[in-house]
Structure 1
Amino acid sequence: MSERHAVLTVWETGFAWSASPDVAYADVHVEGSEPVTYRARVWESPVVESPFAATELIPSWNARTPAGTWLHVEGRVGDESGWTPWFTFARWAEDDPAGESPITRTTLRGQAFDAGRVSTDTWLSAAGRGVERWQLRVTALARPGDEIAWPTVSLVAGAASRFEITPDEPTSEPGPGRGHEVGVPPHSQRLHVDTFPEWDNGGRSWCSPTSTTMLLEHWERAPGRDDVAWVGHDTDPEVVHGVRRVYDRSYGGAGNWAFNTAYAGARGLRAFVTRLRDLNEAEAFVASGIPLVVSVSFREDELDGAGYATEGHLLTIVGFTAEGDVVSNDPNSHRIASNDEVRTVYRRDQLERVWLGTNGGLTYVMHPADVALPTSPAEANWR
């Protein structure tokens, strides 16, 4: 059996914010931007000791950022050589400068150390190194005023993992999800191809926010008519709203994992990124009535019925057939611009391999706080 280690650590209470020196920041993505001074306060997580030498760490947060406010999300990792400096996971606000945000939502390129590097929203350990302990830090920033409306944070989480899965490893046997399907409204990213070129040229690359939108609509948390009026057309404007609220300017796309769960969190769901070990774990969610978003990559001959190849794609798991195959609302919809083409059944063995073997079981979990998650395993990768 290959290594499939994953632990999710979550904080949802006890955010003891401390005063911090003012921060001057000039938006690097706005030409000619001058530094603006923000009031600041900071929360640091306790140090988390990893039970294994993790090779990846992915943060999540659920927050609201009133007009004029934003969050700076940082992390640091340690091993026998000591701690890295604090590095940036995100400069984040739920809106953008065309709306109520004072800054452009973005990650930060070029953060590399002996121990590893930051790849968009993920810490990746260098070869032969591993994370023995880690810590997150969130700084809330607000424009000065007589009455400051600070950001509110309801969840901070970190998923530490170590996955090494061999291509020939047997796939899981059907389990508790057989015969269960959650009724999730379908949305095709292909309906948006070549629209809104400022956000990565439309639907060719909008798989993540399209999948996120499907789950938001399922949970009745999708944006309303007034929220999407700015889109200017009636072709699934909720998807476009999602793209605008997850777009990562430095990354140049809408596929930032943490930004997608943060968007769902700002819409009222409890949402985080984690890694699942196999489809049996995904079945436990579906059997509990909770659909998932998962990350895959594959050649066209590796996933029968998809009709495309991809180096990175997000789709939903909404159910399992009686035989244990996977029912997915796939936003790429066989490259056909139709919501009627979204629901697809994929072979269990193939889907599990292109999810686990290339993407380490990467999963978005999004649910209302009053909808209980299934019982987690002893090495808890959800809570």
Structure 2
Amino acid sequence: MKFSKFLFGTTIGLAAGLLALYYKGDKRVQAPAKKPNTKVFDDFSAVDLSEFTDHLALAAADKTALVLDQNDDEYVSVGSLTTPVFALSPFKNLVASWNALTPDGTAVQVEARINQDGRWSGWHSWGRWSTKRLSGSVKHDQADALAGIDTDTLTVKTGVGTKAQLRVHLYTENAQQTPVLKLVAASVKPVHQDLMVDSHAVTVDKVIATPAYSQEIRDPKLASGICSPTTVSMAINRQNADILPEELALHNLDTTYDGFGNWSFSTAAAGSMGYRAYVAYTDLDGLRRQILAGYPVGVSVQYTNDPNNGKLPYVENATGDTVGHLILVTGFTTLNGVDYVAVNDSYADSNEDAKRLYRLEQFSEAWHSRVAYMIGGNYQGYDRLMQPNRESADLVANDDHTAFTLQKDGETVSITAEMLNQTEPFDENATTIACTLDDGGQFDTTAQQHFDYATVDDEGRIKLDLAAIKQAHPKATTLTVYVARMVASTLVGTISLAN
């Protein structure tokens, strides 16, 4: 008798994990009494490879992960995983997530299809994705009678969906490299369960110490659009990463959407650095459970600080108006009998000003999407991925120390003003030159330091007037320059100011 199985789990507070055992002629499924709205597949050790995969194998160093199969010590070019069909709460919208490592020449693509009254939609794709090349959501989705996808959200056209299925393709153009799939997930916004209702099933009075960053003071060409990567950088830097928001943003561009706010791409970026991360539709108790577990949560909001606005949810103490924004929930607390949500809101004028308290009921209205970034702990054994991809470089001064040529391994790295001043649409040449001084200040993370953004002269040299810098900052001993590049390693050079 053929025996196959597939392990998968569900998200916080919505259903218990589910182990499905599939038998020929005798299928027994121990289902939860309440249908979940999120499914997370994150342990592939129980996969029957002959049934659920094509040209995939368990990773040699991590039996919970999937990689491409090999022929004669070379990886095959394409492989796929198809999950079992899973039931969900009736839904209109579905968002997929994935955690994967994508070395040079590799990529992954996640697809989903939905079932309505026994009819299946076609497969809809979230686009081919990689951290080593520009990625984009699907530009022209082949919508069918049941569903269609826009950027990161699959929408049921009429009626509701009740079941879904996920499919993941792994690709390589390098026979010596393979993607590594750690997680694939789907979450839906249930139509018969109002996630806006606060059941207060969980009680928490806790604020997690988390570095706060303002996106408004970052590289001007990026600042207005990087709330999502800034939110993710705060969440992972609270653990053991130390990435700049610009670095994360330049690895998180959706070229089709032409922006950095693709929900699926954002959690995939965290996953690529070794953190268990996915998008979920949840409620306030879902956030509380994550805070109790020790993890801040990114949420998608819209709000105004003008009580007379009339079009957007009013949030006292907010910094302005936004029709779409990501912030990081760091805790819940009560002051003078009023319930508050503690947040790091990057729509602030300074890092210090980003830490805010919003009234719970006002925050809840602003968080009308009920979309959350569930960014958990490190994957065991993936510690080397926790830091941004950086390489040392040399800064060679001109005669009067006002301009510096960037060199890597003795070769000049070309930088132009167009690369630094690029505006939408961004391309693979987009570059940020961020400079910071070691002047005795104490910071938990690099991104909390003060940064200036350098330009280049007509010869492509980075303009830094050392004499002026020393005069303005007499206590500074070192100037560090970060050259962050689109889907490429950041080049880091230092200049001594001691002499």
Quickly name the TM-score band, shorter chain normalised. Answer: 0.7 to 0.9
1:244 paired to 2:264: no
Deviation at 1:43, TM superposition (A): 0.8
1:62 paired to 2:99: yes
Deviation at 1:164, TM superposition (A): 7.0
Residues in 2 aligned to 1:18 and 1:113: alpha-carbon distance in whole angstroms: 26
Tell me, yes or no, if the aligned pair for 2:319 and 2:347 is still in contact at 8 Å: no
Consecutive unaligned residues in structure 1, runs of 5 or more: 21-37, 97-103, 196-201, 224-237, 372-383
Deviation at 1:288, TM superposition (A): 2.3
2:170 to 115, 140, 154: 140
1:49: which partner in 2? Answer: 87
Deviation at 1:42, TM superposition (A): 0.9
2:54 to 5, 18, 29: 18
| Equivalent residues in 2 for 1:62-211, closer than 5 Å | 62-80=99-117, 82-96=119-133, 104-111=134-141, 112-127=143-158, 129-145=159-175, 148-163=176-191, 176-178=203-205, 180-192=206-218, 194-195=220-221, 202-211=222-231
TM-score under structure 1 length normalisation: 0.75
With over 3 angstroms needed to count, the CA separation of the structure-2 counterparts of 1:158 and 1:318, relative to structure 1, is same
**Larger % of helix: which?**
1
| Equivalent residues in 2 for 1:166-315, closer than 5 Å | 176-178=203-205, 180-192=206-218, 194-195=220-221, 202-223=222-243, 238-277=244-283, 279-300=284-305, 301=307, 302-315=314-327
Residues in 2 aligned to 1:267 and 1:118: alpha-carbon distance in whole angstroms: 27
Determine helix, strand or coil for the equivalent of 1:322. strand
With over 3 angstroms needed to count, the CA separation of the structure-2 counterparts of 1:296 and 1:151, relative to structure 1, is same
Deviation at 1:208, TM superposition (A): 0.5
One-letter amino acid of the structure 2 residue matched with residue 222 of structure 1: D
Residues in 2 aligned to 1:271 and 1:11: alpha-carbon distance in whole angstroms: 12
Q: Percent identity?
A: 25
TM-score under structure 2 length normalisation: 0.59
With over 3 angstroms needed to count, the CA separation of the structure-2 counterparts of 1:184 and 1:5, relative to structure 1, is farther
Residues in 1 aligned to 2:194 and 2:375: alpha-carbon distance in whole angstroms: 29
Tell me, yes or no, if the aligned pair for 2:77 and 2:172 is still in contact at 8 Å: yes
One-letter amino acid of the structure 1 residue matched with residue 216 of structure 2: R
1:318: which partner in 2? Answer: 330
With over 3 angstroms needed to count, the CA separation of the structure-2 counterparts of 1:172 and 1:310, relative to structure 1, is farther
With over 3 angstroms needed to count, the CA separation of the structure-2 counterparts of 1:142 and 1:240, relative to structure 1, is same
One-letter amino acid of the structure 1 residue matched with residue 238 of structure 2: H
Deviation at 1:163, TM superposition (A): 4.5
1:349 to 347, 361, 378: 361
Determine helix, strand or coil for the equivalent of 2:224. helix
Tell me, yes or no, if the aligned pair for 1:193 and 1:204 is still in contact at 8 Å: no
Consecutive unaligned residues in structure 2, runs of 5 or more: 1-33, 57-75, 308-313, 381-499
Tell me, yes or no, if the aligned pair for 1:6 and 1:275 is still in contact at 8 Å: no
1:362 paired to 2:371: yes
Deviation at 1:143, TM superposition (A): 1.1
Residues in 2 aligned to 1:288 and 1:142: alpha-carbon distance in whole angstroms: 37
Determine helix, strand or coil for the equivalent of 1:246. coil
Tell me, yes or no, if the aligned pair for 2:275 and 2:379 is still in contact at 8 Å: no
Tell me, yes or no, if the aligned pair for 1:219 and 1:367 is still in contact at 8 Å: no
Residues in 2 aligned to 1:175 and 1:154: alpha-carbon distance in whole angstroms: 30
2:71: which partner in 1? Answer: none
Deviation at 1:270, TM superposition (A): 0.6
Offset from partner CA, 1:28-87 (integer Å, 9 cap, x none): xxxxxxxxxx8211111111122x321111111111011111112111112126211212
Residues in 2 aligned to 1:309 and 1:208: alpha-carbon distance in whole angstroms: 17
Q: Which has the larger radius of gyration?
A: 2
How many residues end up aligned between the 2 structures? 311
Deviation at 1:193, TM superposition (A): 5.4
Residues in 1 aligned to 2:85 and 2:118: alpha-carbon distance in whole angstroms: 16
Residues in 1 aligned to 2:172 and 2:194: alpha-carbon distance in whole angstroms: 48
Tell me, yes or no, if the aligned pair for 1:6 and 1:276 is still in contact at 8 Å: no
Residues in 2 aligned to 1:8 and 1:304: alpha-carbon distance in whole angstroms: 32
One-letter amino acid of the structure 1 residue matched with residue 324 of structure 2: G
**Larger % of strand: which?**
2
Determine helix, strand or coil for the equivalent of 2:228. helix
Offset from partner CA, 1:131-182 (integer Å, 9 cap, x none): 122111111111153xx31100111111122247889x7756595222x110
Deviates more, 1:156-165 or 1:111-120: 156-165
Residues in 2 aligned to 1:159 and 1:243: alpha-carbon distance in whole angstroms: 24
One-letter amino acid of the structure 2 residue matched with residue 59 of structure 1: A
Determine helix, strand or coil for the equivalent of 1:205. coil
